[in-house]
Amino acid sequence: MNTIGENLKLTVYGESHGVSVGAVLDGLPPGETVDWDEVRREMARRAPGKNSMSTPRAEGDDFAVQSGYCNGHTTGTPLAVMIANSDVRSGDYDDLRHLMRPGHADYTGKIRYGGYNDYRGGGHFSGRLTAPIVFAGAVAKQILARRGIRVGAHILQIEKVADRPFNPLGEEPAVFERLTRETLPVLDKPQAGRMAEVITAAKEDSDSVGGCIEAMITGLPAGYGDPLFDSVESGLARMLFAVPAVKGLSFGDGFALAAMRGSVSNDAMYYDADGTVRTKSNHNGGINGGITNGMPVLFRTVIKAAASIGKEQDTVDTDDKKNAKLIIKGRHDPCIVQRAVPVIENAAAWTILDILLTQGGRYT
């Protein structure tokens, strides 16, 4: 299905080279204002064609709100948005109807849909479908911010170049804001130049590189979420794994917890000056038993290198039923990590707002 959410539902539609992509946001509370210029800024962070480190496909990601907003406020009925596709070159993808891209969904999509899938630009499997996710999250971010909840992210790693991690006990809103203004959002600014060099080198070699994004949610009170199947981790995982190229997700110290004793990984608790329970560390990423504990929710996503590269690769020809060689034409990203940062942020924001609305009796 193309719909996600409990009380707050998001339906996404479209293909990379179709007339448009878009979404229906159902369940937004009535009476919320939206700063559309801020939504446009969020969309621009993800949009292609901004610099030499992304695909030259130039989409402005202009959007048209079709319903659900009147006289400066949400109405409480479905908010529908359309984002037109304009800069398409579908002819570049003619061969990909039968020559399958290694590492891409060409083959699995063809099998799943019996050969009727739209293969142009990756069709419904394209990163183009993250544009409506960013739109939805940009709306959710503003609603969350009015409740003191903020979401931020940065590039933790591209290939072997690493940024320093977030302070697990929290970052100031100004840090998140600064990151949204940067082409390569990092905490240790010199690392941005090194990451740019790695991306450029991959591009010149007709190749691509992946990386890791670290995200943080601050201001989320204790007590949200549920054990087992409706845990905060489960909700975020379902949304985040819908983002193309995400291949790994961890919370807090994640896989590093395997090497820690309980005396280290347990987050010691205390009452702060205003009587709020806090922890002295945040190895568990702000979640215990699937429920928020009041500390920042901290997670990391692994983004694999883009599948579309210019190097010759071994593949199969599904028309001839033979092995074949493939050199991919068209316009593609040598690295999608920097464009994925706002996607991860906004996907998380939408999920957190849904969790708050689902526990509606506590939503204020």
Per-residue pLDDT tens listing for the chain (364 residues): 899 999 999 999 998 888 899 999 999 999 999 999 999 999 999 987 666 676 665 567 899 999 999 999 999 999 999 999 886 665 666 788 899 899 999 999 999 989 888 888 777 888 899 999 999 999 999 999 999 999 999 999 999 999 999 999 999 999 999 999 999 999 999 999 999 999 999 999 999 999 999 999 999 999 999 999 999 999 999 999 999 999 999 999 999 999 999 999 999 999 999 999 999 999 999 999 999 999 999 999 999 999 999 899 999 999 999 999 998 877 678 999 999 999 999 999 999 999 999 987 444 4
Q: Binding site residues for FMN, as ranges?
A: 124-126, 289, 304-308, 331
Between β-strands 73-74 and 211-218, what pairing exists: parallel, antiparallel or unpaired? unpaired
Rounded to two decimals, the pTM is 0.92
Rounded to whole angstroms, how far apart are CA atoms 349 and 338? 18
Residue 25 CB neighbour total at 10 angstroms: 24
CA separation for the pair 93, 90 (Å, rounded): 6
Q: Which residue type, as a one-letter code, is found at position 86?
A: S
CATH number of this structure's domain 3-360: 3.60.150.10
d(CA 256, CA 262): 12
Q: Which has the closest alpha carbon to 12: 231, 239, 217?
A: 239
- In whole angstroms, what is the distance from residue 318 CA to residue 324 CA? 10
Q: Give the separation between CA 163 and CA 154, rounded to whole angstroms.
A: 9
CA distances from 175 to 172, 181, 293, 350 (A): 5, 10, 23, 21
Binding positions for NADP(+): 46
- Annotated binding residues, written as ranges, equal 46, 124-126, 289, 304-308, 331
Q: Which of 115, 191, 127 is nearest to 159 (CA)?
A: 191
